[in-house]
Amino acid sequence: MKTLDLQLITVGLDDGKQGIFVGLPLLSKHAADTGGSVENIWFSDIKHVPDNLTMEELMQLVVKQLSDCMTTVQ
């Protein structure tokens, strides 16, 4: 079976709300051990996607979103 590397990112707001985001690995244990840290967080607009997407289809959308972002952010 083919696998995908995924990482969950949990964000807690000061009002007690929490959100969990799934994506390609952002920080590895090695990066965290060697001083890697989050400098900035950017949220896209909300995307409405079919609820029957496979994980692979969802990750393709995520990769496309990242690619589109990288072409517009300088």
Kindly report, residue by residue over 10-41, the tens digit of the pLDDT. Answer: 888 899 998 888 777 777 666 666 666 677 77
Please give the torsion angle defined by the CA atoms of residues 47, 48, 52 and 55, in that order, rounded to the nearest 10 degrees. 0
Q: Which residues contact 47 (CB under 8 A, 6 or more apart)?
A: 61, 65
Please give the torsion angle defined by the CA atoms of residues 65, 37, 41 and 29, in that order, rounded to the nearest 10 degrees. 40
Is residue 11 situated within a structural domain?
yes
State how far Cα 35 lies from the chain centre: 20
Q: How confident is the model at residue 31, as a pLDDT?
A: 62
Is residue 19 situated within a structural domain?
yes
The total of structural domains in the chain comes to 1
Is residue 2 situated within a structural domain?
no
User: Domain span at residue 46?
Assistant: 7-72
Q: How confident is the model at residue 11, as a pLDDT?
A: 86
Is residue 23 situated within a structural domain?
yes
Q: How confident is the model at residue 55, as a pLDDT?
A: 82
Model confidence at 2, pLDDT cuts 50, 70, 90, reads: confident
Is residue 39 situated within a structural domain?
yes
Give residue 13's identity as a one-letter amino acid code.
Answer: L
Q: How confident is the model at residue 4, as a pLDDT?
A: 77
